[in-house]
């Protein structure tokens, strides 16, 4: 129980046991465990084998949050660079994107910093909306498998052509400003 006790002592865990990503009542994250698996295959090989292709990965980008004022406060500049690098690698613009699966841990400091970077890269007014969500509100922060949970959620959304509502969202964190941007949070099945 050592890591959980330490995280609790630092005030990083939600005392309610609910991850309230981007919500005004965000009070920490929820630890969970899980695993996920996706089959990656060259598109040409999948087509030749008659596989059902659920999604295509245009590119991938790797980054690290870099130095910050502490473990609970993310480095916005490092996040901004990673988002821009990802778009560049894929040959896309921010306005080409219609959904962002955010890290969204449900912390008062982290969510606003992350959303500020998302707004800077993807929020410019455009013809289409760009929705933002976080699977952590549904399943908690699975730490080492959190990324694959986000990928699986996004692939399922593409397959079903549905965007689930962001659970535990009652009131947007007042430090998050979505006005005059194309960013939206789904509050009902979309």
| Model pLDDT for residues 140-186, shown as the tens digit of each residue | 999 999 999 999 999 999 999 999 999 999 999 999 999 999 999 99
- % the chain with pLDDT above 70: 98
Instruction: Determine the angle formed by the axes of helices 76-90 and 110-122, rounding to 10 degrees.
Output: 30
- Residue 32 token pair: 């969970």
- Within a 10 A sphere around the Cβ of 170, how many other Cβ atoms? 9
- CA 163 remoteness from chain centre: 14
Q: Over the stretch 30-67, which tens digit does the pLDDT of each residue have?
A: 999 999 999 999 999 999 999 999 999 989 998 887 78
pTM of the full predicted structure? 0.92
Quickly tell me which residue has 């962002």 as its tokens. 100
Please list the residues that pair with 172 across neighbouring strands. Answer: 23
What's the maximum distance between 2 C-alpha atoms anywhere in the chain? 54
Distance from C-alpha of 55 to C-alpha of 53, rounded to nearest angstrom: 6
């Amino acid at each position: 129980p050592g890591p959980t006790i330490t995280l609790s002592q630092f005030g990083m865990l939600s005392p309610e046991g609910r991850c309230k990503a981007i919500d005004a009542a965000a009070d920490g994250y929820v630890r969970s465990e899980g695993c996920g698996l996706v089959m990656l295959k060259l598109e040409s090989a999948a087509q030749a084998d008659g596989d059902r292709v659920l999604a295509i990965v245009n590119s991938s980008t790797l980054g690290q949050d870099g130095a910050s004022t502490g473990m609970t406060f993310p480095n916005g500049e490092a996040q901004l660079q990673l988002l821009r690098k990802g778009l560049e690698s894929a040959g896309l613009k921010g306005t080409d994107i219609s959904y962002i699966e955010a890290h969204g841990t449900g912390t008062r400091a982290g969510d606003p910093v992350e959303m500020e970077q998302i707004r800077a890269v993807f929020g410019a007014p455009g013809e289409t909306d760009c929705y933002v969500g976080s699977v952590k509100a549904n399943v908690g922060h699975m730490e080492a498998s959190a990324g694959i949970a986000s990928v699986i959620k996004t692939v399922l959304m593409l397959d079903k052509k549905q965007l689930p509502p962001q659970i535990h969202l009652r009131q947007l964190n007042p430090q998050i400003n979505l006005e005059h941007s194309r960013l939206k949070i789904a509050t009902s099945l979309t």
